[in-house]
Structure formats: structure tokens, C-alpha cells
Structure 1
């Protein structure tokens, strides 16, 4: 997936950890709407920040090229739908980041993960359930 080949930016929030900030905002809008034209997205983004229509057109084209949006022709305009759901996106990002960490930094990554989990009783309970399920599956 070409959208995972970029830089991971842990200091950014949400989808912008993987995509550019404007790409992330466009994806959030399209996930919320389910389907949108460039005009739809441009109007929504312009309520927050004034940008040229062609800027949004370029961003949406790039997101389609990366495999995140599906472009359909509607007369002279184009409609875009998400190629992956928000949950699929988050899961793939998490899988890729964790795989990369464990491949190169297994021990410190695991240690920091456990330190983070132990501070949250709910997350600790979830981890315990997952471990029990794995043990049951292994027999």
C-alpha cells in the first residue's frame, strides 16, 4: 500500500501521523461523508482555511493514486469514495508501525508497551483477555 510508504510522524494527531495534514483532513471529510466531490470537500475545508479549488483537486488525486480514494466519473465531475474504511486504515497503520518497531527494537518496544498498558486498568484487562484467548487457541 503506497500510502504506508511515507514517513511516520508520531508528533502529529490522528491520520496526519501517516499522511500530510491536508491529506488527513480530506480523508476525514470523505470518511465522514462516505462520498464527496472536490467541490464538496473544497467548501468544507474553506470554512476552516481558504485554499484554492485546484489544491483540493490535487490532494484528492494524490489520495486516489495512493489507493486511499476511489474516483468515479459523474458527468463532467468526479465523485470520490474511501477505498479503505477508517478502521481498516488505523489497523493497517498500527500493524505496520508495530511490525517495524518489533523488527528493529523488540525488547524496548515491548517494555514501553507494557509500561503504557499497566497505567490503564481497562487496557490491562483487555490485554489479559487477549492473552487468555491466545493461550486457549494454542491449546
Structure 2
């Protein structure tokens, strides 16, 4: 289960481990080490420590396969990314979220299929969208931040 605490307490290095597990699915320790060492100058013990931390956080689970451990994610990449994004957006003024999304769209690689889905979602959202979004930074008066 993804909680705000899981997402908040995952380090950049742990994200690297999770990306490999999400990409390859069930994976044994040696595969994770090989993949990470091809990208990073990390020791085997560092990688095992990261994997152990992710197990303790409940983001990876293990099972024994003969003499080695097999790891798999307990949460999908989409679930984790969605929660991380929601956390980030929760720190922003409502007025500025639309502009932030525009900036992200400029920077993110998108397929034609992704763009079609975005266009469809935006068309649906437009039906109920207000003319402007109010600032939600202060409890008292409405402000333009």
C-alpha cells in the first residue's frame, strides 16, 4: 500500500532500485546489482542495503528461490508516481497548478497516444472548469499570489 509516508521517505537511490524492479518485475538480487552497477558506481553492499530498506518500508517483498532471494514490488510504478505527484501538487497554490502542468507537458516525452488521452481528458474537464482558480494559500481573504 502506498502511503504519503512511503513516498516522502524514499531516497533518490531507492527510486533507482524501484525503477529497475518495476521494469523487470520479479528479479533476484544479482540482477538488481548488475543493473545498478552498470549505471552507478555503487557497491554490492550499498545496493543490498537499499533493497533491505525498501523491504522494511513495505515497497518490496521477497521470496526465497533456492539459495537466492527474489524481489518484487508491492506497489505499481503508477501508484507511486501518482502519490508523489499529488504530494508535490499539495504544496502548491491552486492558482499555479495549471501553469505547472503546462510546463511539465513541455518537458515530458509524450507519445501520440498520450497526447490523444490528454486531449480527451482536457475536453471532459473543460465542461466543469471555472473561469479562474482561486488562491488557496491563506485562510482569510482571497488573494492573487
State TM-score, norm by structure 2: 0.63
- Superposed CA RMSD in Å reads 2.9
Instruction: Please tell me whether Structure 1 or Structure 2 has the larger radius of gyration of its CA atoms.
Output: 2
Alpha-carbon deviation of 1:58? 0.4
Q: Which runs of no fewer than 5 residues in structure 2 stay unpaired? A: 107-114, 130-145
> Size of the alignment, in residue pairs?
116
Q: Which has the higher contact order (CA 8 A, sep 6+)?
A: 2
Residue 34 (str. 1) matches residue 25 (str. 2): yes
Alpha-carbon deviation of 1:117? 8.5
Q: Which residue of 2 is the match for residue 127 of structure 1? A: 122
Distance 2:20 2:102 in 1: 35
Do the aligned partners of residues 76 and 115 (structure 1) sit closer, same or farther apart at CA in structure 2, a change above 3 Å counting? closer
| Structure 1 counterpart of 2:60, from 48, 62, 69 | 69
Alpha-carbon deviation of 1:47? 2.0
Aligned partner of residue 47 in structure 1, secondary structure: helix
Q: Which residue of 1 is the match for residue 94 of structure 2? A: 106
Distance 2:78 2:97 in 1: 24
Contact 2:61 2:74 in 1 (8 A): yes
Residue 5 (str. 1) matches residue 20 (str. 2): no
Which structure has more helix as a fraction of its residues? 1
Q: Which residue of 2 is the match for residue 51 of structure 1? A: 42
Q: Which runs of no fewer than 5 residues in structure 1 stay unpaired? A: 7-18
State TM-score, norm by structure 1: 0.66
